[in-house]
């Protein structure tokens, strides 16, 4: 995952999304945004089914680990995040300029998410876990490649 270096910075301040702060959204857009899921997304379910079919057992959403990983395999000290492209800044340098509405909210919001991702990766690695982060589109388009990366790591452990 390519990201800017946010490790040496203080947390990015994200303004509250309120009309008082100068942000406005239509009721239609608000209804659409409320339908976006954060857990059990289609790419997550697809990847978990592939892991299970391959004989790998896991737990979902371990709240004891930083960032609440989507998939945790304690036996191999392995965590997997499956990140949405918009929310986590996929090709951010290209996409950033294309945000038209409420730029004062969305740009700091996404950059803070990217910063938090790096912080969580560091914290999880410090606990001795290996962190994998896949984009939704990688899981949808090339699930076997992602699975091979996970199994490649597991086989490298010689357990």
Domains of the chain: 19-156 (3.40.960.10)
pLDDT at 2: 46
The CA angle 127-130-134, to the nearest 5 degrees, is 130
DSSP run (H or E) holding 113: helix 103-126
- Residue 43 · residue 31 · CB < 8 Å: no
> How many Å apart are CA 138 and CA 140, to the nearest integer?
5
Query: At a CB cut-off of 8 Å and minimum separation 6, what does 75 contact?
Result: 57, 159
Smallest Cα–Cα separation from 74: which of 53, 59, 92, 87? 59
Residue with the larger pLDDT of the pair 55 and 3: 55
pLDDT at 4 over 60: no
3-state secondary structure of 50: helix
pLDDT tens, 42-58? 999 999 999 999 999 99
| Secondary structure of 17-28 in HEC code, one letter for each residue | CCHHHCCCCCHH
pLDDT at 23: 53
pLDDT at 17: 60
pLDDT at 1: 41
pLDDT at 30 over 80: no
Residue with the larger pLDDT of the pair 13 and 50: 50
pLDDT at 24 over 90: no
The highest-confidence range among 10-19, 63-72, 105-114, by mean pLDDT, is 63-72
pLDDT interval class at 148 (50, 70, 90): very high
pLDDT tens, 80-118? 999 999 889 999 999 999 988 888 888 999 999 999 999
Gyration radius of the chain over CA positions: 17
Beta bridge partners of 83: 135
pLDDT at 105: 84
In sequence order, what E strands does 63-113 have?
A: 71-73, 78-83
The CA angle 45-50-53, to the nearest 5 degrees, is 120
> How many Å apart are CA 148 and CA 66, to the nearest integer?
25
Beta bridge partners of 73: 78
């Amino acid at each position: 995952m390519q990201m800017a270096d946010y490790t040496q910075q203080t947390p990015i301040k994200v303004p509250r999304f309120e009309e008082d702060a100068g942000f406005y959204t239509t009721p239609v857009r608000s209804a659409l945004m409320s339908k976006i899921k954060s857990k059990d997304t289609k790419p997550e379910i697809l990847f978990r089914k592939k892991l299970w079919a391959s004989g790998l057992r896991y737990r979902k959403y371990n709240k004891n680990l930083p960032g609440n990983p989507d998939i945790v395999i304690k036996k191999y000290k392995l965590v997997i995040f499956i990140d949405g492209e918009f929310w986590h800044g996929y090709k951010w340098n290209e996409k950033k300029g294309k945000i038209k509405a409420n730029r004062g909210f969305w740009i700091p919001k996404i950059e803070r998410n990217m910063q938090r991702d790096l912080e969580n990766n560091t914290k999880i690695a410090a606990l001795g876990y290996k962190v994998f982060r896949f984009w939704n589109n990688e899981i949808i388009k090339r699930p076997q490649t992602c699975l091979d990366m996970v199994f490649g790591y597991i086989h490298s452990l010689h357990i």
